[in-house]
Amino acid sequence: MSQEHVEIVRQMLNAFNEEDIERIFALTHRDVEIQIAPSVSAEPDTYRGHAGMRRYRESFQEAMSEIRFEAERLYDAGSAVVVTLRLTARGRQTGILVEQRSAGVWTVSEGQVIGVRTFPSTGDALDAVGAQQ
């Protein structure tokens, strides 16, 4: 894992937190693929390309406000970055604050995110890339 890849992942999370869609697009390849697993979302889906990124962001913002992504830990997984993630948000209808921990395998190439796969735990994400904790 290069420090550049880690920095790109951090920049992406910051762009999501700042709701900066243009920066998100600049940091993702036009053919990016984001896989949200059923084990981490009530609405699992695969989001492709910049249109998919926009759809993911908008659908999330319809239901939630005060959305924050925090990388708790980054792991060297060879060609990928494994991120232990803490998500907090407030339900728009209920006002209830929610918190979820999950993990993701982020693939970066030529300075852009080309893929993200989500997992219910860091162990599952590390297993998916053949790495150990």
Q: Which of 9-13, 42-46, 63-67, 122-126 has the lowest mean pLDDT?
A: 42-46
Which has more pLDDT, 96 or 60?
Answer: 96
- Which of 28, 82, 24, 27 shows the shortest CA–CA distance to 58? 24
CB 32 within 8 A of CB 61: no
In percent, the amount of the chain with pLDDT more than 90 equals 80
- Two tokens at 10? 């951090």
Is a pLDDT exceeding 60 seen at residue 1? Answer: no
Report the predicted TM-score, pTM, of the whole model to 2 decimal places. 0.91
Average pLDDT over residues 45-65: 93
Is a pLDDT exceeding 90 seen at residue 60? Answer: no
Is a pLDDT exceeding 90 seen at residue 75? Answer: no
- Two tokens at 42? 């009530």
